[in-house]
Copies of this chain bind each other. A is one copy, B any other.
Amino acid sequence: MKSYEHIINEYEGIKKSGVDNLNSNNVFQNIKNLAFGCQEYLSSCGRIELISKVADKAYFSFNRGNKSSRAIRNDLFTTDNKLLELFLDCLNSNEFNSISNDDLDKAGYTIAISFCAVIDIEKVGDQKTPGTFFEYFMGHCFAKKLNVNPENKVDVLNLDMEMTLPTDLIFDLGPNKPKFHVPVKTSTRERVIQVWAHQRVLDGVYGSGRFIGVLACLSETKLNKKRLEVVEICLPNQWRLYQLYIAQMKGVYYLDLPEVYAKLNLSFPKIHVKTFSSFFKEPIDVLLTE
């Protein structure tokens, strides 16, 4: 169908332009076109209300024929294109005073989950394409906010070893300024230990404190398509052990924030786990001083 091809063209555009400069206007335009393309596509899909096993959160799923999408949070998904437009204008100008936290979270969540939903319906079992888009989308948002184009590798020089270490996104704000190490995951589960391990390698190679670890996540929901039940899979005690014994992640930003992870703000070892909007509305100093 025409709108799907249009969406995929924009996605390919993001990948092509994003390789060189994730902070570029080309990437911004591709994301904008993709976002509205997904809205158009999904407006012709049906909706199934899901049975939510997650306290205080309701979810639905888009469907077309016998294909259906992952779980989508009712209160975060918006069909208000004007809200998406406002968010994109704020992003492009790196000026977020005119948008509320709630609206920022809604717009970010909607753009991210909409593309995932389209791919769920069109390409059953494809986890890679949604993950790749989410990485580019988050990378672009962080690049706009920090006003720097990220790298995805760093040089390592250790006596007779000279090599390049592939990394998640690295935002280097310049001499005597912080450098951010930003892994991006649609969901984490037991694979999340990789995030702390990469932080540990950066701490080891460059010294503790040189890279500030910030994780960006979409959600932790899991949908049982037969029973139409949504659960959240969270491992807060394992996060605490990783924070104590592997390395320190300073901040974690979720589009659909699980309550058990939000509580890690309150216990030792403290991890700054917040909603997506907090990264754009709070002073970045919160990550440097806590």
Measured CB to CB, the residues of A under 8 A from B are 125, 156, 158, 161, 163, 165-166, 190-191, 193-194, 196-198, 200-201, 203-205, 237-238, 240-242, 244-246
Known: A193-B194, A194-B194. A158 touches B244 (CB 8 A): yes
List 20 contacting pairs A-B, 8 Å CB cutoff, sorted by A.
A156-B241, A163-B237, A165-B241, A191-B191, A191-B194, A193-B194, A193-B198, A194-B194, A194-B197, A197-B200, A197-B242, A197-B246, A200-B200, A200-B245, A201-B242, A201-B245, A203-B245, A204-B245, A204-B246, A205-B245
Contacting residues, chain B, for A244 (C-beta < 8 A): 158, 204
The number of times this chain is found in the oligomer is: 2
Q: Which residue of B lies closest to A269 (CB)?
A: B161
Closest Cβ–Cβ distance, residue A91 to chain B (whole Å): 30
Contacting residues, chain B, for A238 (C-beta < 8 A): 165-166
Known: A194-B193, A194-B194. A201 touches B165 (CB 8 A): no
Contacting residues, chain B, for A166 (C-beta < 8 A): 190, 238
